[in-house]
Amino acid sequence: MRQTDGSLIDGLLSLGMSGRANLKARSAMFASWAASLLVAIAAGWMAYAVVPTNVDVAWLMVAGDRLLDGARLHVDVVEINPPFSVWLYMPFVLAERATGLPAEFWLSVGLPTMALLSVSICMRMLARCEPANRDSAWMAPAVLAALLCIFIADFGQREQFATVALMPWLALLAARDGSENFEAGTRFERVVAGLGAALFVIVKPPLSLPALALPALALCVRRRSLHPVFTSETMLGAATTLAYLIWLATFHKSFFVDLVPLLSDLYLPARKPVLDMLLSLPVIIFAMLAAATLLVSRPEGLGRFPGVILLAAVGYVPAFVLMGKGWTYQALPFLLLGMVAFLLQLGQRKTATTPLALGGLVTGTAIIALLVWTNEPSAQAVRRTELENVAARVIRVVEHPTVATIATRLQAAHPLTRMVNGDYRSRYPGLWMVENAAKLISARGADVQQAARLRILQADFISRAVEDIERARPDIIFDAGTKDWPGQAVVRSYPAIQGLLGEYRTLYRGSEVTVLVRSDLMSGLTQVGSP
């Protein structure tokens, strides 16, 4: 009887301890996701209320707005990327028309929501396959902060969307690797992973493919099987991407006929040397993050999910190098994935810290702290205030103005177009082709024949800008600011441009943008300088 009573008491004590442990685990999980929700809300608030809309994102919203009004992509609206770049922001533009709330607001809600769901799906899949992943779920808020908050000036860029969308595919690959028969994930999770992988590839085809291929092929070699390449989610992603490419070839022939030659002549040649790109700051930062992740993994070894993420990040570096521009937003996939890999590996540590691991911890933490400091939003907040002041002045002169541009850089033209609720009438987002031609002429120097051809191209595109302005007679023309760009001098020296600008007066001139208003709208107003 005593044994029975003792067993019963032991069982009750065990049950009580287990219940307390489960309660503690549930409380920790609740706290983690509550913090994650706060991070998502904070990111959305900063993107909508603190920093100005990214120039590229604003342009793609402007382009989407024009398409909804009946303009033809790559004909009336010339975006140098395939149509998915505009389609990605179309839901936010449609939401604006349906609700009256700005597309920027819906973007500030949509992207954090997408990131929150993506991280949730990843953690859920991985928690089922490995205890270490369950224990690292508390890192979810930090992962979300890395994905959404650090590069806040680039909030909403296509590369950020693509990275967030790819996460479930990477998590599912890691979860499969933790299974003996390589089976993992529910049907819903596989569909989400496959569509997310397709979105990642479609944003930058075909340069983004190595980011998927490298971790999959690494598992093929380790498992001595092709199964990692032929999973259901990968096949779904491949089929979706192929369908998009067929649609593009069938219904957007103008992209291949008109845009591809333009890119070949003026965009692709204007690349930095490969060595310069390999030694660029984004690549160096990522290399240090990767090294820190490997050091933090000692002596336990790299976790499955951090390892897969790190391989994907390495696979995207060649895309950044081959694009040859060096812009931070193009480095987002490997920078964001590099931070996520470090944070997740840090969250999985169990053993006592070794000197190597401590060195990795200090290095990785210092890099992330440096990124936070250099990207903190106060400077962007000042810039937003300046743009709001400029927009207010434009609205005092004319409400809902028609807009065109002769600037050779995007600069602030498109955020301002959105802020004044403008009707953009130029075919091009800016005369970047004139700028690139000027750089190529300067770089090639003695190549007289090529320089002459480039000058003909410059004149052709300036003539197209003149046609747009003559046809629309816009209320507002955006010109470059006080910064000197080689191509801008070419544009301003063009006789037809000089003739057109005689009908306009300067409302504002700043470092980023000059706002010219049609003279008949400026009666009684004087020229205005910086706010």
DSSP, residue by residue, 368-394? HHHHHHHT-THHHHHHHHHHHHHHHHH
Assigned domain for 129 exists: yes
Taking residues 394-398, report their average pLDDT: 94
DSSP H helices, 331-447, are 332-347, 355-374, 378-397, 413-419, 432-444
pLDDT, one tens digit per residue, over 145-195 is: 999 999 999 999 999 999 999 999 999 999 999 888 899 999 999 999 999
Query: What confidence category does residue 15 fall into, taking pLDDT thresholds of 50, 70 and 90?
Result: very low
Give the DSSP H/E element, type plus range, for residue 250. helix 232-251
pLDDT at 29: 76
Give Cα 516 distance to the centre of its chain: 31
The answer, yes or no, to whether residue 13 has pLDDT greater than 50, is no
Place of tokens 């992209």: 255
pLDDT-based confidence at 1, cuts 50/70/90? Answer: very low
Structural tokens at position 85: 């770049």
CA atoms within 13 A on the CB side of 81: 18
In a domain, residue 4? The reply is no
Q: Which residue has the tokens 């962007």?
A: 380
* Cα–Cα nearest to 214, from 146, 255, 166, 247: 166
Q: Is there a single domain that holds both residue 123 and residue 16?
A: yes
Pick from 321, 354, 374: which residue ends a domain? 374
Local confidence band at 448 (pLDDT 50, 70, 90 cut-offs): confident
Q: Residue 308 has which token pair?
A: 């897969």
Does residue 3 sit within a domain?
A: no
pLDDT in tens, 318-354: 999 999 999 999 999 999 999 999 999 998 877 667 8
Q: Do the domain assignments include residue 402?
A: yes
In a domain, 470, yes or no: yes
Shared domain check, 370 and 462: no
Long-range contacts at 360-365 (CB < 8 A, ≥ 24 apart): 360/291, 360/292, 360/293, 360/294, 360/295, 360/296, 360/297, 360/298, 361/292, 361/295, 361/296, 363/288, 363/291, 363/292, 363/295, 364/288, 364/289, 364/292, 364/293, 364/296
pLDDT per position as a tens digit, 367-387: 999 999 999 899 899 999 999
Angle between helices 332-347 and 304-323 (to 10 degrees): 160
Q: Across the chain, what does the average pLDDT equal?
A: 90
Q: Name the amino acid, one letter, at 95.
A: A
Q: Are 296 and 361 in contact (CB under 8 A)?
A: yes
Question: Hey, what are 480's tokens?
Answer: 């470059």
Are 410 and 314 in a shared domain?
A: no
Q: Both 274 and 386 in a single domain?
A: no
Same-domain status, 302 and 169: yes
| Number of domains, the chain | 2
Across residues 19-30, what is the average pLDDT? 68
The fraction of the chain above a pLDDT of 70, given in percent, is 91
Q: Which of 353, 374, 395 lies at the terminal end of a domain, its last residue?
A: 374
What are the pLDDT digits (tens) for 59-70? 999 999 999 999
Using a pLDDT cut of 90, give the percent of the chain over it: 73
The pair of three-digit structure tokens given for residue 455, joined into one six-digit string: 């000058």
Residues 170 and 315 in one domain: yes
* Distance of alpha carbon 78 from alpha carbon 259, whole angstroms: 8
Whether residue 530 is predicted with pLDDT greater than 90 in this model: the reply is no
Given this model, what pLDDT does residue 168 score?
97
Instruction: Identify which of 17-26, 233-242, 346-355 has the greatest average pLDDT.
Output: 233-242
Tell whether 366 and 387 lie within a shared domain: no
Q: What residues are paired with 517 via a beta bridge?
A: 476, 505
Residues 313, 166 share a domain: yes
Residues 302 and 385 in one domain: no
Residue 150, domain member (yes or no): yes
pLDDT at residue 4 in the model: 47
In this model, does residue 131 exceed pLDDT 70?
A: no
Give residue 159's pLDDT.
98
Tokens of 132: 């270490």
119 and 64 in a common domain = yes
Angle of CA points 498, 503, 509, to nearest 5°: 75
Identify the band that residue 531 occupies on the pLDDT scale cut at 50, 70 and 90. very low
- 508 within a domain of the structure (yes/no): yes
Q: Is residue 506 a contact partner of residue 421, using CB atoms and an 8 Å limit?
A: no
**For residue 130, which of 348, 281, 310, 361 has the smallest C-alpha distance?**
348
Q: 364 and 401: one domain?
A: no
Q: 386 and 367 in one domain? A: no
pLDDT score at 6: 52
Assigned domain for 528 exists? no
Residue pLDDT, tens place only, 105-126: 999 999 999 999 999 999 888 8
Q: In terms of residue numbers, what domain contains 445?
A: 379-521
For residue 4, the tally of other CB atoms under 10 A from its CB is 8
CA distance 271 to 276: 10
Q: Which of 341, 374, 407 is the last residue of a domain?
A: 374
